[in-house]
Amino acid sequence: MTVDFNSSDIDAVSLCNLALETSSLCAETNFQNTDLMIRAIAYFLESIEIEPRNYKAHLGLGLMLMAGRMYEDAIGHLETAYEINPVPEINKYIESAEVGKTEMKTSFVETAISKKKHTVNDLLDLGNKFKIK
């Protein structure tokens, strides 16, 4: 049975702990269970809404967003976590998210260019088939 919590029902620390437990389950499934990921993200967000300066919630949310390849949002939460509690390891996560963001942009651009080249080549081939001799 699933239980939904309201901010009046549970405090930020308890929600963050619930989110961390759910994140752990996500990691066990190699982040393949999207329902668990969404649930963990929702718990982190609710925890942050109750206590905006909860660095563990920002850090956990940033890591979950990285797992979901939402690098831009992840970077924001990781940077907030670092501002609240400047633990050096957080910088490694920020750098990793920056690399992921760059690779995604590169991949997107490469895919777009490849599709464009394919389309142009198809048009040229089509044009060659219908040339009047």
Q: Which domain does 123 fall in, by range?
A: 12-129
pLDDT at 46 over 80: yes
pLDDT at 47 over 90: yes
Mean pLDDT of 73-90: 96
The pLDDT, as a whole number, for residue 44 is: 93
CATH number of the domain residue 108 falls in: 1.25.40.10
Q: How many domains does the chain have?
A: 1
Q: Name the residue with higher pLDDT: 103 or 123.
A: 103
Tokens of 14: 């308890």
Q: Where are the beta strands (DSSP E) in 19-113?
A: none
Q: What are phi and psi of 65, to 5 degrees?
A: -65, -35
pLDDT at 76 over 80: yes
Looking at residue 54, the DSSP 8-state letter turns out to be -
Q: Which of 55, 64, 52, 81 has its CA nearest to residue 19?
A: 64
Whether the Cβ atoms of residue 75 and residue 97 lie closer than 8 Å to each other: yes
In a domain, 73, yes or no: yes
Whether the Cβ atoms of residue 66 and residue 89 lie closer than 8 Å to each other: no
Q: What is the mean pLDDT of the chain?
A: 84
The pLDDT, as a whole number, for residue 115 is: 67
The pLDDT, as a whole number, for residue 86 is: 96
Whether the Cβ atoms of residue 65 and residue 81 lie closer than 8 Å to each other: no
In a domain, 119, yes or no: yes
Q: What are phi and psi of 8, to 5 degrees?
A: -80, -15
The pLDDT, as a whole number, for residue 10 is: 81
In a domain, 45, yes or no: yes
pLDDT at 7 over 50: no
